[in-house]
Amino acid sequence: MLETFRKHAYLMIAVLVLVFLGLVFFGTGSGSGLGLFGGPVALEAHGQKFDLKQLQRFEERHSRLITRLSLNAPGDTEALGRYASMLAQGDVDNKRRTSFVVNRLSLQKAMKDFGLQASTAEVNSFIKDTLFWEESGFNSEAYQDFVKNEMGPLGATVKTLNDLIREVICLTKLEEVLGAGIEVSREETEKNILSSQQRITYQLLSYPITGFRDKPMPSEEEVEAKWEATKSSYLSNPKRKVVYILAAPDYEAILDSKPAANDSTEAGQPGELKEQSPPSPAENDGCQEPAEQPAEQPAEQPAEQPAKDQLSEKERKEALFNLALKFGELDEKMLEGQTLSEAATDLGLTVETTELVEQSMLPSDFSSNFRNSPGTAGDAIFKAPVGTKKFEPLGEDQWLYFEIVEELEPAELSFEDAKDKVRAALISEQAIEIMKEKAQGHHTALSTAMKEGKPFTDAATELDLSPVLRKDVTRSGTMGGVMREYTTAARVNPGELSDLITDTDKDERFGLARSFFLYVVKREAYEDTGIEATVDMMTENLLRRRQIAAVQNWFLQARASANVVEAPTE
């Protein structure tokens, strides 16, 4: 299970990036033997120059091979996914393609500078004992099938595969070199874990904002004065006009193209005996009055499965891969000079155009998350500048291409347009102040009484307060406001009050705005029988994260010293 999780964690981040990047941008080779330099320089890095055609070809087989391996190798692809993710990192200004090229050149340079090598035996072992290891041995049949049916159509050879694996192994060795001096204290890790493994009982006094919102009654003059002081914060929503292509695999067509299974139960099949119905009464005894029969009820039909669910996992993966290929061809055609409309028509894709719209008015699919980068399509469109063109895998199985062609920047709202928002903000601010003032008064009164020797319960009763008792609260499963209470109580000694805490509604993790403080009754560590294993796992994870951070930082520094020069794009 752990290996499966590791495999798919990296694949979800990296593989579909490469499905696109490798298909449409990179070409063959390992950084050398690029052929004669023909056109204008499109990219220069680490002293190597590429024209546009070479960039289109650079690492094409390599990147397609990564994708095919990730989707089809039956064994552990964690190292392969980490390699793909590392080379794709450092996306700046949507130039993920450039990042991939430069990062791979940086890796090749590191292999020379650090003397990193992978022997033929190491490569063969990685292929047999890692990628194509299944259950208890090397799956020779799966390997031969991959070479024939997956590598063949790519024009890849066993040498191409070996070159890829050699770099994957050398990246692992580079990680070991760069992470050699990094340490994580097991003792400190254990202390941090134990500090979060407490069972705490406390009494809570909470003052939610809902009890104070009806108190403020700002006048029209106060609202207008607030608007004058903050009107630059009250703006109209920005608008964007977008040209886009959004597509998903045509599962219906794929299903229809599959050969229909023969219905062996159909009547009239050779050698099949049909069940004979018993003779009717009329046949035995002559004409009789027909018996009254209940009305025949139509048989309930099972709900038809969507076409996608009727396909195998392999067929769905293949459909998604082919869709990525199509979007790769779209980019290639535009690089060759075709317009978006011409290229889309050739490929059977539909170009759509929005009006100038706010983000909330974009097509509903634009609220889906990208598969390989954070945020939604709508977020990306409203963060990027006009002129941005981007390909991204979207949602569960879609691909999106968009161009931002026009924008309408936010403008200051007039007082009439803004006053409802200003009034609501002013009411919220004033309600929070009233809330804090009341909570602070009770906190001060309780603190004073306790300093004079009065027990908390007696002091609360005299102030007519009704604290809520929370017993044996632990960190496990605790969320939102209760987690906020727990982390506050974890720093307070038993028999003492916490400080007054005020959370506004700006932090949605804690729910509604409120002020609160608490009195800790008892706080004790609880025994965890699995603590040793937990400490080991956390120590290992922390070490791994720091090592990965070191490698990522090295790639960023290598990029900074690569003297990257790109030709300007329209």
The residue ranking higher by pLDDT, 354 or 95, is: 354
Q: Tell me: the pLDDT tens digits for 238-249?
A: 999 999 999 999
Strands 501-503 and 137-138, by their bridges, are unpaired
Q: What are phi and psi of 49, to 5 degrees?
A: -110, 145
Residue 505's pLDDT band, with cuts at 50, 70 and 90, is confident
Residue 161, burial from CB neighbour count under 10 angstroms (0-12, 13-18, 19+):
buried
Q: Domain segments of the chain: what residues?
A: 2-182+539-566, 198-234+414-525, 239-253+311-408
Q: Let me know: does 84 contact 10? Beta carbons within 8 Å.
A: yes
Question: pLDDT-derived band of residue 28, with 50, 70 and 90 as boundaries?
Answer: very low
Which pLDDT score, from 0 to 100, does residue 308 have? 87
Q: How confident is the model over 285-291, as a mean pLDDT? A: 52
pLDDT at residue 22 tops 50: no
129, 133, 126: which is closest to 171 by C-alpha? 126
Is residue 203 within a helix (H) or strand (E), and if so which, with residue range? strand 198-208
How many other CB atoms are found less than 10 A from the CB of residue 466?
9
How far from chain centre, in Å, is Cα 438? Answer: 43
Share of the chain above pLDDT 90, in %: 47
pLDDT of 265 higher than 80: no
Between 173 and 271, name the one with better pLDDT: 173
196-220 pLDDT per residue, tens: 778 999 999 999 999 898 888 899 9
Question: What average pLDDT does this structure show over 300-326?
Answer: 84
pLDDT digits (tens, 9 = 90+) for 352-386: 999 999 999 999 999 999 887 778 999 999 999 99
Asked if residue 406 lies in contact with residue 241, where contact means CB atoms within 8 angstroms, the answer is: yes
Please report the pLDDT score of residue 193 as a whole number. Answer: 78
Please say if the pLDDT value at position 261 is more than 50: yes
Structure tokens at 332: 């290639």
Q: Provide the pLDDT confidence category of residue 157 given band limits of 50, 70 and 90.
A: confident
| pLDDT above 50 for 452 | yes
Q: State residue 294's pLDDT score.
A: 59
Q: Distance (Å, rounded) from C-alpha 157 to C-alpha 390?
A: 32
Task: Please state, in angstroms and rounded to a whole number, the distance separating the CA atoms of residues 535 and 188.
Answer: 10
Which CB contacts under 8 angstroms, 24+ apart, belong to 91-98?
91/373, 94/384, 94/388, 94/390, 95/566, 96/17, 96/21, 97/21, 97/25, 97/26, 97/55, 98/43, 98/564, 98/566
Q: What local confidence, expressed as pLDDT, does residue 474 receive?
A: 87
pLDDT for 307 equals 85
Provide the 8-state DSSP code for 397. T
Selected residue with higher pLDDT from 54 and 222 = 222
- What is residue 84's predicted lDDT score, i.e. its pLDDT? 87
- Cα–Cα distances in Å, from 389 out to 331, 405, 501, 550? 11, 9, 46, 32
Please report the pLDDT score of residue 30 as a whole number: 37
Q: Which of 29-43, 421-435, 445-459, 475-489 has the lowest mean pLDDT?
A: 29-43
Predicted local distance difference test score (pLDDT) of residue 357: 96
- pLDDT of 20 above 80: no
pLDDT-derived band of residue 32, with 50, 70 and 90 as boundaries?
very low
Q: What is the pLDDT of residues 549-569, one digit of tens each?
A: 999 999 999 999 999 998 765
Mean pLDDT in residue range 64-88: 87
- The tokens describing 136, both together, are 């208890």
Which has more pLDDT, 19 or 45?
A: 45
Asked if pLDDT for residue 287 goes beyond 70, the answer is: no
The position carrying tokens 């956390």 is 538
Share of the chain above pLDDT 70, in %: 82
**Distance separating alpha carbons of residues 401 and 394, to the nearest angstrom:** 10
Beta-strand (E) ranges in 477-526?
501-503, 514-525
Whether 162 contacts 123, CB under 8 Å = yes
How much is the pLDDT for 462?
96
Structure tokens given for 43:
């990219």
Mean pLDDT across the chain, nearest whole number?
83
CATH class, domain 2-182+539-566, is mainly alpha
